[in-house]
Structure 1
Amino acid sequence: MDTTLNDPPPGSAWGDPHLGTLLDGRYRVEERIAVGGMATVYRGTDTRLDRVLALKVMHPSLAGDSGFSDRFIREAKAVARLSHPNVVNVFDQGADGSAVFLAMEYVPGWTLRDLLRDRGALSARAALDVLEPVLAALGAAHRAGLVHRDVKPENVLITDGGLVKVADFGLVRLLSGADTAITDATTPGVIMGTVSYLAPEQIQPSAATDQRVDVYAAGIMLYELLTGSKPYSGDNPMQVIYRHLHEDVPPPSLAVPGLAPELDAIVAAATARDPQHRPWDAVELLAALQRVRRVLTPAQLDAEPPASSRQAPQFSPAEATSVLAAPAVERTSVFTGPPPELITRPRPYHEPPRPPRTPRRQRNPRSRRGLIWGSVLAVVALLVAGISYLLSGAVYATVPSVLGQSQAQAVSILDGAGLRGSFSQAFSETVPPGQVISSDPGVGRRARKSDPVKVTVSKGPQRIAVPDVTGKPLDQAQQQLTAAQLTPGTTTQQYSPSVPQGSVISTDPAAGQQLPVNAPIALVVSKGAAPVAVPDTTGLAVSDAQSKLSGAGFKVALATDQTYSDTVPAGSVAAQDVTGTATPGSTVTLTLSKGPQPAPVPSVTGMSQSDATDALTAAGFKVKSSGLNFFGLSSVSGQTPAPGTMLPKGSTVTINF
């Protein structure tokens, strides 16, 4: 029983507030496509790049929940790590008010659910053609350390050109640590996902889950593709959950007689209730699926599903695994089933009662002739279709998946499909060296047998040695890092006595370390030497001042002009232009003293001794008396030097009586 919401009619407004709006000033919301449990998907346009895309907007009731918002944003970050032709790309993630959204690749076409509704059960070949690219996408996710956790037909998109893409990583989880196990952190008692495709360990709150939950869901999907219906049904979700926990998935040949036992075996292995009995990840299941395809005859692959049912052999998980692991060269067209002592307890499935026969009516000759002509035309149409198919098969072949295979294995697989490969190499952060990254045309696409399939083989992760940019000016260092396919990162400044100001002292990571392309490199740039105290040389002789400044690491220069100083003797340092602290190596300029500034000697002749002394002292001179001045009544009769003479202040003027 599927608990996801039904899709609304395309373009139906339903009072939707987002239709016609512009998200983040860039993405125009044009048409509603579908509504899910966490978000609504719209068709929109990136007005900046003029590109049609899909906009996935979280429901407002969940946007305020940090847990759901984090899970929503985790989808964007998780899918951004994947680069695979069978994964729907995520271009951007943002928020506009209360609207939290993802901007994703728009995939015109239909979902796998639409295909199942339209056609019902598929032939084995068609089912494998659909499931192989799904497993290729999941395999890329698993090898990148991601688990989808919500694999179902609604999340498998098929383009108009037949390309299969996996979407909706909304419940994605990162694999944690060396044991690659993850534990759900959802609310106790709440099951995230669609119950029809949940693995038993997803339902049990205390059970650890890993990438094998996707393998289980893929096995359920394979059952549904082969039979046209889900293996479990019930009146409510709890009944379906109970059957997941306590019943094995029935063989698909029980519902569709004539299916090969190998298909029963692969469904049994993928849907084993104990995850230890399932393939380790989607890559391993894909390899097993390809082995099964190679042992099936064209008649088994192309047989249309009949409407009746019969009893089918059943496989234990160990027996199913042994069937899947059989070498492809040892093709077994008939499987007799396991020995009686290994057969598991028969399951309570019974053949449905056949409808009662309607009494045959007497036909008239005219209707009989019409029936004959109709049969003839039908036979002719079948012959034409068969010849067209055979001719098409002579020219075209379906591209098998070679994801994760070595070049030699890829050559063998393509040769088995009647195709040849043209191999090239590329760097990959997720695919080990020597294994296939992708093919062009992609998995499941039809290719001309005369044209080579372009296969890209991994060279492993590209690593670049950090260049040595120490001692270089900042702009030159940044240019050199960019040229080396690295990204100049944050810049900090630091004093250095040896590296010139504005040049690089060091990088983090250091020079020579091997890093991925575009890895950020932090730069430490010199501010020059740290400032130190400048000695005060005022009043010192020139030689002493020069010696003191040089010893502190400064250069010394003498000013061309000198200055008068009442306190510093002529020829000594009257002033310096740098005080406090300065960078070692900088220049300190000294100004020398010319001594006190000269001033004119005032005339004091005829003054009393006291008045003359006051006048000369006020002019900056010292006073000396000569002669006799009885009782201070005599006046100054003369002075030396004469009035008007220019003397340095502080000089002595002699007054005579």
Structure 2
Amino acid sequence: MSDTLTDPLLGRLVDGRYLVRECIGAGGMATVYLAFDKRLERLVALKVMRAGLGSDLDSSEFTARFRREAKAAARLTHPGMVRVYDQGIDGEISYLTMEYVEGENLRQRMNHEGCLTLGEALTVTEGVLDALAAAHRQDLVHRDIKPENVLLDEEGRTKVADFGLARAVTEVTSTSTGTIMGTVAYLGPELVSRGTQDARTDIYAAGILLYEMVTGHQPFTGDSAIEVASRHVHEDVPAPSESVPWLPPEFDALVAQLVARDPDDRPMNGAAAVTMVRQARSLIDDPTLDRRADPPSGAILLTGDDDDATTVFDPAPAGATVVLPIGLGESAFAPVSVGAEMIEDDPEAREPVAPQRRGLWWSGAILAAILVLGGVAFWWYNSVGPGAFTTVPAVAGTQQDAEQVLEAVGLVTETEFQFDDDIADGTVIATDPAGQTQVPNGALITIIVSKGPEMTAVPALVGSNQDDATAAITEAGFEVGETEEKPSDTVPKGEVLSQDPESGETVRHDSAISLTVSGGPAPVSFPDVVGQSEADAQATLGEDALVVSVKRERTDDQPKGIVFKQDPAAGDDGIRTDAITIWVSDGPPLVDVPNFVFDAVDEAVQNAKDVGLIPELRARWPFSSRDRIADQSIAPGTDVERGTDIVLIYN
């Protein structure tokens, strides 16, 4: 029977916008369809909540909670999350539209590849935790992390789906029914036993996910969901190396932290967990990261494209969503006895055959003969044969001295040179084997001769910053000596001014290198230059290497060429090379000379004084009447400095 006949949603236009094309997945809470958004003309993933989720509940409460969680998920814009575009209700259908990701989910990847390499598993886990970190920063908990909700796009990037859906459903169902919906293999103990959850519940699920990717199986199995849940509550997750012995202890420690039964022992959120994953990866070598565990015993990867083949499904798939009671306390999940299944790891192994007792007497006789002959041979070898021993004499002094002593007793010598900080160049340090050791005659003795202390060229440090210089000293094997700070007008603060020993010198490898580091310009108090000439002010300010900016203005405060103002003010604190502005007087302000002609003499004199001129009266004729001004020495409209003399001539 075709899907069109069995699924009434196929071909339907949901909410007048989304044309359903095909079913691409189904779970305990929802079914996912590939749909075409006719409004925006793009493919989307349409997630339709399972019919009956809220049938026994207040439908308005379910709708409100569903919308709230969908809106919260839509606010998340991390590249590692499947984007939520829209949500709505169309009749009995509650739906979400989300980004359609081309690729496969993690469950599919594990089904056709078996175990992932350690490096790929850590990369996927890091991507999941990075996305969770963004959600946790907004106080959102995913609560249903499992392989089915981890998507891998065609470029191998990780995307996490279904943010908020488990919480949206559980908030309603747990209130009315006392149950919780979730994937039992990944539920945190605190969620199972007490119904409580936070960011650490997501971390637990991510840890189980990592365990499963590397080992190829989940840590706990059972005949029922309640049995698996009980094991999560009462048992610690076993170390992955119990299943895959070559896994390093750093990986075991990482998984143990992520899946600790007590939430307080786990990382607080996704960001903290990401940091732990990256630290663990940095401690594992590349060959180990590239290694992949063998599939667990009994695991068979199904391949082939025979659509007519009969497929047998597990009654409870690994990623199935189930209903469990919550809030009943740990007593509701008493430990369940789980039978252990003996697995034959080596099918070619055979049980050893019990030894037969025939011929025991002859075996004993032959053994006795061998022992007697061996004893005689041992005596001959150590007494007169080539295996006779010689005591290595203790040697000292030069290489030649040591060779003469050793060769005199029939030993063969070779020389090895080593650096030594305490023994002079050319002097014997020791022998191998050491002196007073018993060795066969003619044995080879290595004479270890000192090359003196190792000498190393001092690296160039001047011009680098202090941190880089210190790192370079340590990397070259030297000691970091004293560091002195000196002020400098030209070298930035923290940059190395000089070093001792200097660059290129060859010194002992354990020598200390001292640094002189720039402290930047020295502090100064701005001097008072008001009242000084421009040249004197420049000289005074130059003593502190201050950068002087000169402005010229006309003023009565100071004579021309004299500083009448400065900024910063005298006494302010600063540093050498700071900028300072001084104002130099360009003389008194200019006055626009009025026209005094025809003005009364006394009035003209007063007006001249009012504008800042100094008037002088002169008569044009010896017998002038001193009545009106007839002429003036400066033409009207001329700009002159205040205080300029002007002659007013009267008739």
Question: Is the pair's TM-score, using the shorter chain for normalization, greater than 0.5?
Answer: no
